[in-house]
Structures are given as structure tokens and as C-alpha cells.
Structure 1
Amino acid sequence: MIKHGLARARASIRKAALTTRNLSSIVNYNNNDDDYVPNGVVYHNPVAFYQSYLEMERRFKVYVYKEGEVPITHYGPCKDIYTIEGRFISEMEHGANKRFRTSDPHRAHVYFLPFSVVWMVKYLYKPLTYDLTPLKQFVDDYVRVVSTKYPFWNRTSGADHFMLACHDWGPHASQGNPQLYNTSIRVLCNANTSEGFNPQKDVSLPEIHLYGGNISPKLLSPPPFNDPRPYLAFFAGGLHGPIRPLLFQHWKGRDDMIKVYEYLPKELDYYSFMLKSKFCLCPSGYEVASPRIVEAIYAECVPVILSDHYVLPFSDVLRWEAFSIQVDLSEIPQLKEVLTTVTDDKYRRLKENLRAVRRHFVLNQPAKRFDVFHMILHSIWLRRLNMRIG
């Protein structure tokens, strides 16, 4: 029954993508969340995405394993840098919208392993030892419990199971079980292809830093579209990883138009700089992901991606080149030249497209259609369908 349903979903998506590439010809565009229809150049194929999303709403069922106890399972951080990890677990466990969750594991398309790597680090890791064995052992024990108690893991070697982690050590924790690492869907902020992230089966999770659990009021309503932004580019962050030293070497304190700080002085405000800058520099640190990318989207400050081996979130669906700029690391010394060659027309289009994709990166309580929670689910849905729609 499940296989037939998935086959019908694939067929309908393929048919829709071949029928038309112009959604405005078949539906009325409405910007309300309940009636939103994806359209425009920010999507690889808006028709295929829309049909896939509708099929997900119609069919997709997730079973959440009940095994484990709070806080390491069924709970996670819901504020600060790892917000997304706890909020996703909370939405799956306690969210008002029960559309996607099933209490019958035989009806499920995928199975969620609801442990929090952040809380593993807090409660199991011994500081300064850099010994991740306790994390790996917990993961292996959890898989052993569910694979012994239920038949679902063993029938697919875990291919229809997923974990979600935003902590930098999420990929390392997943190494605790070889099948989880190699076969299951790993939803990770640290989506680094040089460290085993496989975009064919794994999902890139956007890192969202919400102080106190909420978007900063300054980012809720960015300045009017045509307000001048006095700075060309902005970055403030710690000196770590291989990319930032190069950025600091060439641009820290060297140009009044490109504001690069290691640590922002206390009298200056981080988000105010974002809102006054045309471009926001997003270099990787020790790990590839950065919350600056989502903050830049909120601030309508065009993200400049400075990263190797990073699979950007929702790139199955979204054309990142339509609302961000990828700069090769070799071009960091010429960064000002690269950014000033962006024409006014192109910059306007990039900024307009930022507004179009913002809804896909917002955490709502309760979750709303096409928001970040649903985009994560849709990425998992695509892996379960085993198809590309780009």
C-alpha cells in the first residue's frame, strides 16, 4: 500500500512538471500562508515543487519512536544557536498540526529517531576530553533498542529512518551506528560533503539562532525596500576555521565600505549592521554551517557564501544563485571588486528574491505551510520518494 502510494506521488509530480512551468496559468497567486503557491525564479521548478508539496500533505506519515526518556530524547534546545533541533523535535512530538504524524508504525513512510545531540553533549560528554564515544554509544544503543523491538529498521537497514541534529558533532554521533551513518537519512546543520554528508540521502538543515527563542524585533520588519544601505558588506565573528583568517587578513579594518570585525565592540549592534549592509558575508568557521545565512535572509541582506563543501539548505528546491552570491575562496582578496560589479538591477532582483524565500526559513509556532518545519519535512519526503525535482 505504501509503495503504491509513493509510486502514484512520483507519477503525479512528473506529470505536473511536464504539463507547465507557469503556475500562474493554473492557480491564482495569493501571498497568504494557507493559499501560497510557489512561483518564480527562486525555485528550480516551482510546478514540480508545488505538486510534491501537495502530495506530501496528502500522504506523508512519520512515526516517532516512543523509546527513550527526556531530556536526551523527545526534547531539545528551543532557543539560541541550536534552536532548530529542539523546535523540530517539539513540533513532531507536541505540535498542534498532527497531519504528518501517525501512531501506527505500519502506516509510516519514515521513522524518526527523536534524540538530541545537543543534550547528549550536555549530559554525556566530559568537557575538554574530546572523547565522543559516549555520544556514539548512545546512538548505537538507541538503534539497537528500536531494531530489536520493531521490524522496521531491519527490513530496510534503516534507509527509511531519520535523525536530526544541529550540533557540530551531529555527524560524529551518527557514526555510532554504521547503518545510520551510511544508509539512514541524516538531517544535519553540518552538511559537509568532505566529512561524509551525502546529499543523495542526507538533508541540509538551516542553522537558526534565535536569542530567547524568538526572531529579533529588528529583523521582523526590515527597512523599506528602497532605503539606502550605507555599507557594501558586513561580517563579525570569531577567528576560527580555515576561511576566516583569510577574510580578516584582507579586510579586517581595511575598508570603510566592507565592515569586518572579529568581535563587534559592545557599543555597536550586530543586526543594525546587517540592516545597513547590502551584502552579508557568511564564511564557514570550524564547521560549514552558519546562522548568518538565515539572519541575512531575515535582514534582506544578500548572503555572500564563503564556504567549501557546504550543501546549502533546501537546494533540491531553491535556486540559491537567485538570492545569494557564492564567492570562491580564491577571490576573497578581490571581494570588493566582486561585489561592486553586481549591477543595480541584479542587486534589486537578489533582494526581491530574498523576500520571496523568507517564508521558507521562518520558525512559526504553530508551524505554517511552507515554513522551515515543512521545508525540512519536504526534504525528507523527497529522500523517501528517491527522486529529484530540480
Structure 2
Amino acid sequence: MAGLSVPSPFLLTLALLLLLFLLIYISPLNQNHLTLHFSPSSTTALSPTLTYPQTSHKTQAQVSPASSPAEAESFLDSPPFSISTDNPSSHIPLSRNIKKRSKTEKIEEDLARARAAIRNAIRLQNYTSDREETYIPSGCVYRNAYAFHQEGEKPMVHCGPMSYIYSIEGQFIDEMERGDSPFLAQRPDEAHAFFLPISITKIVDVFYRLDPWHFPMLPIFTDYVNVVASKYPYWNRSSGADHFMISCHDWAPEVIKEDREYFKNFIRVLCNANTSEGFIPTRDVSLPEYNLKGHPLYTLGPPRLGQSPRHRNILAFFAGAAHGDIRSLLFEHWKQKDNEIQVYENLPKKKNYHKLLGESKFCLCPSGSEVASPRVVEAMYQECVPVIISDYYTLPFSDVLDWSKFAVFIPPRRIPELKTILKGISERRYLTLQKRVKQVARHFELNRPAKPFDVIHMVLHSVWLRRMNIRLPQNDY
């Protein structure tokens, strides 16, 4: 009878080790092999700050000063596709198997978290502040991405004016369309909002001179939107609520005139932000107006000539054309009548416009034929306290900036009292206002390429706030 072979110690040790690993693997204490839960990198309440739209990286940034809780909460009212902020997890699971989550759901989860975080910060009055300034109660970090539609040809689409009074329109279009823009989504189904790069100014330039009596601005714009809506699913799924245009032309608000129902959810980013002419602050976005130099000295903004407060010897300054009732009243009472309130219709050639702004304590910003004026931006560049003299004007970024903290408001009817009102502002109050102007000035800077905190980021952040107010149907496009 053959003897049984005895396994070597090495083989016994190896078998025991394999058995041990098998027992550990099937142990009920180890659950890693049973379930894989998805934890999305989404908007979470980390700190009371605002983060500006970027896709290639995330940046936290404060926007100062803050709006009031009531004003901030007004941007969270429920429009057609609403997000329930009382319990967002009731309809959008925050932890779900990756395979079951559609692309639309991924976007809506991020936006729902951001919306809930803002509402929570407002309720808790969770502000970042010191004794003199307050910040928006955002309490969220967000990711944002935009897509622009390729349809259309130059000159009316994909380009715009790069200089003079409507220049922000072309600068924004060009920034969004440059190949390495950090704002663009890699795929359209990853975008939070869609940009229509059609230029109202270019349409006017091309067609108005040909036939001013049968000017086809409205049909051209509507036809472009119809092409986009028929070729892609994105316009129709939201009734245009996640689409936006940008224009600084005076006539731009008219683009929805022929079919207001069709465009009732469409976001218009406009310099002419006049509430008496149909501008809706909770849906539309107010755009700062720039007057950039053209050929041969192209610039992105005026020279910075602002003096320190103790070297500002002019109480108030304005120079500009005489158009509109408000400026007519201003010229009637103050045009070249006072050394402290310096008001000019035609500035003498020997005087430097931006130097005078930099030597003034207050810069007068009266509306002209339309509500917007580049003097608001020019005052910011020279760190001069803006004096807003206007009716029905929704100021840029007033959804997050409390203009009362760094500007002075004078109703047009009180223009005769201009000097009395400004003289009545104490030196301490003026220094506080001027300090805050220096803080918010960076939000009005135009940079190419765009930089964090600047005007292009601010515009896209305003669009994002309005995009948060809708909830798309849960379909996977």
C-alpha cells in the first residue's frame, strides 16, 4: 500500500493564507463589494460666498456688498419649471446609482443644492460681514458651463461691436466664442444655459441703412431662434428659459415684441434695463455699458487716474451730450454755473475727462435718452462715488450688489437740490462710500481673457441665478 504524501510547510502556509483572505472577503463586516453609491461633486454649503462660473476649475469668491435677504430671495420665486427648495431631495435623489442618472438630472442636482443653500443662508442670515460691509448670503459653491449655438453667419451672428458705446456686446460674444474659453461646456447636454451669439447692433448696422422704413430686426431675430429650436431639443424643453442673449443696443429690448408669449421665459442681458419698457429684473439681466476706444488705440477701459480722497477737490462732475429729459434738467440748473458742481455739455479740449473724474468726490450718472450710461463704469474705474440720477433703471448686478452701500441716489425731480444733498453727506459717510467703490470696482473691469470677479464673470453669474429658478423635465437629451 502506497504511503500518503505529506504537503510541504510552504504549501500549507499558502493554503491557510488563501483561506484567510476568502473569509475576510465574505465577512458581513466588509460591505464594499456589495454596493457602490454615487456621491456627486455638486454644490454644497461650505461658506457664505459666491463662486463665479467656470468649467475648467472651481473658484470661491466674495461679491460685496450684499443685497438684502428679501431682494436675494426674490430671485428664488417659482417660475414655470420650479425647484422645490423646501425639500429638494424629495424629487431629486442626492445619492443614486450612476447608471440611472440622466444628464439632465446631474445638472438639476447641482442647481437644486445651490438653490437650497442660498435659501438656507437667507433664512439663517448667514452673512460674512464686518462692521461696515455685508456680503451676499450665498453659502454655496457651484460649477457652471455654457454652450453657444453655431448657427448663423457673420456679420450678424458670432461677432459684434468691439469699441465705442455698444462695445460690451461684441466683447462678450468674442470672449464666449474663443476656442479656449473656460466658460464653455464640453458637450451641449452638459451646459446649464445656452448663449445665442446674435448681435442686435450688427443687424441694425446691416439693414437699417438699407431700408429704415421696413426694418426687419424682429423677424431676423425670431427666425434665428426658430432655427435653433427646430435643430436642437434645448429651447423647446424649457420654452427658452435656459437661453440668453446679450446686447447693449438701445433697441435690443424690442426683440420679443412680436411674440411675447414665445419669449416669456427667455433671458435678455441688456444695457437698456428699463422696467417701464418691459425689463423684468427677476428674468432679465442688467448689463453695464462701456465706451471703449476704437482704431487706432483699442482699449478695454479708461486709464486709472483716481486720486486719494484728500486730493479730490471737485465735489461733483459730469460731461456729456444733452439728450433726454433728465440731462436737460441737469443742464438747466448746473451747466457751467458752479465751480463745485462741474457740469459740461462740451468739455473744453484742454481738460482731461478721466482726470476730472479722478479728482471728483462724486461722479454724476444721469440717464440720457435711455436709462444706461457708461459713466457708471467710468466712475468705478476712477474710484469715484457714482450719483445715480434715473427713473426705472435696474442697476447692474443689483441681485448681489447693494448699491445703497456705495452709491448715492437722487431722484430727477431733486436735481435743483443737488449741491445741498451732496454737501449734506458727512466726510465719514463719504469715505465709507468711496472705500466700498474701491471694493466693488473689480466687478466692473473688462478683461480679455476674462479674469475671476470681473464683469464677464458677473454677467454669467447673474444668468446662473436666473437659470436656478427653473427646473427642466427629467428627460435625458
TM-score > 0.5, shorter chain as reference: yes
Equivalent residue number for residue 287 of structure 1: 370
Equivalent residue number for residue 306 of structure 2: 222
SS in 1 for 2:147: strand
SS in 2 for 1:370: coil
Pair 1:157-2:247 in alignment: no
Structure 1, 7-16 or 329-338: larger mean CA deviation: 7-16
SS in 2 for 1:282: strand
Change (3 A) 1:345 1:298: same
Within 2, Cα distance between the matches of 1:384 and 1:41? 31
Percent identity at matched positions? Answer: 49
Change (3 A) 1:263 1:355: same
Structure 1, 75-84 or 280-289: larger mean CA deviation: 75-84
Equivalent residue number for residue 175 of structure 2: 91
Within 2, Cα distance between the matches of 1:179 and 1:266? 50
Alignment match of 1:46 (pick from 136, 139, 142): 136
Structure 1, 376-385 or 235-244: larger mean CA deviation: 235-244
By how many angstroms is 1:228 displaced? 2.0
Equivalent residue number for residue 249 of structure 1: 332
Equivalent residue number for residue 363 of structure 1: 446
Within 1, Cα distance between the matches of 2:349 and 2:255? 36
Change (3 A) 1:345 1:110: same
Within 2, Cα distance between the matches of 1:112 and 1:386? 17
Within 2, Cα distance between the matches of 1:314 and 1:154? 28
Within 2, Cα distance between the matches of 1:11 and 1:230? 48
By how many angstroms is 1:180 displaced? 5.8
SS in 1 for 2:303: helix
Equivalent residue number for residue 169 of structure 1: 251
By how many angstroms is 1:315 displaced? 0.2
- Residue by residue over 1:274-295, the C-alpha shift from the partner in whole angstroms, topping out at 9 and shown as x without a partner, is 1111111111011000000010
SS in 1 for 2:160: coil
What does residue range 87-126 of structure 1 map to in structure 2 within 5 Å?
87-94=171-178, 96-98=180-182, 100-126=183-209
- Structure 2, unpaired ranges of 5+: 1-104, 471-477
- Residue by residue over 1:328-375, the C-alpha shift from the partner in whole angstroms, topping out at 9 and shown as x without a partner, is 112111110000000000000010001000110001122111111000
User: Aligned-pair RMSD on alpha carbons?
Assistant: 2.1
8 Å Cα contact 2:300/2:447 also seen in 1 = no
SS in 2 for 1:260: strand
Within 1, Cα distance between the matches of 2:213 and 2:405? 40
Change (3 A) 1:47 1:142: same
User: Which amino acid is 2:171 matched to?
Assistant: R
8 Å Cα contact 1:42/1:320 also seen in 2 = no
So what's the TM-score if we normalise by structure 1? 0.87
By how many angstroms is 1:130 displaced? 6.2
What does residue range 134-283 of structure 1 map to in structure 2 within 5 Å?
134-179=216-261, 181-212=263-294, 213-215=298-300, 218-219=303-304, 221-223=305-307, 225-283=308-366
Within 1, Cα distance between the matches of 2:262 and 2:255? 10
8 Å Cα contact 1:95/1:366 also seen in 2 = no
Structure 1, 194-203 or 228-237: larger mean CA deviation: 228-237
What does residue range 21-60 of structure 1 map to in structure 2 within 5 Å?
21-23=126-128, 43=134, 45-48=135-138, 51-52=139-140, 54-55=141-142, 58=143, 60=144
Within 2, Cα distance between the matches of 1:42 and 1:161? 34
User: Which amino acid is 2:233 matched to?
Assistant: P
So what's the TM-score if we normalise by structure 2? 0.72
User: Which amino acid is 1:350 matched to?
Assistant: L
By how many angstroms is 1:174 displaced? 3.6
Equivalent residue number for residue 5 of structure 1: 110
SS in 2 for 1:186: strand
Alignment match of 1:339 (pick from 406, 409, 422): 422
Q: Name which structure has the greater RCO, CA cutoff 8 Å, separation 6+.
A: 2
Within 2, Cα distance between the matches of 1:62 and 1:215? 24
8 Å Cα contact 1:185/1:203 also seen in 2 = yes
Structure 1, 80-89 or 118-127: larger mean CA deviation: 118-127
By how many angstroms is 1:173 displaced? 2.9
- Residue by residue over 1:230-277, the C-alpha shift from the partner in whole angstroms, topping out at 9 and shown as x without a partner, is 211111111111111111111112111111111112222211211111
Pair 1:329-2:412 in alignment: yes
Structure 1, 306-315 or 268-277: larger mean CA deviation: 268-277
Aligned residues: 362
What does residue range 9-20 of structure 1 map to in structure 2 within 5 Å?
9-17=114-122
SS in 2 for 1:368: coil
Equivalent residue number for residue 154 of structure 2: 70
Equivalent residue number for residue 403 of structure 2: 320
Within 1, Cα distance between the matches of 2:412 and 2:352? 27
By how many angstroms is 1:17 displaced? 4.8
Equivalent residue number for residue 34 of structure 1: none
8 Å Cα contact 1:237/1:263 also seen in 2 = yes
Change (3 A) 1:104 1:96: closer
8 Å Cα contact 2:322/2:328 also seen in 1 = yes
Alignment match of 2:165 (pick from 70, 74, 81): 81
Within 2, Cα distance between the matches of 1:168 and 1:95? 30
Within 2, Cα distance between the matches of 1:136 and 1:40? 50
Query: Higher Cα Rg: structure 1 or 2?
Result: 2
8 Å Cα contact 1:41/1:319 also seen in 2 = no
- The structure carrying a bigger helix percent of its residues is 1
- Residue by residue over 1:47-72, the C-alpha shift from the partner in whole angstroms, topping out at 9 and shown as x without a partner, is 41xx45x31xx2x2212111001221
By how many angstroms is 1:87 displaced? 1.2
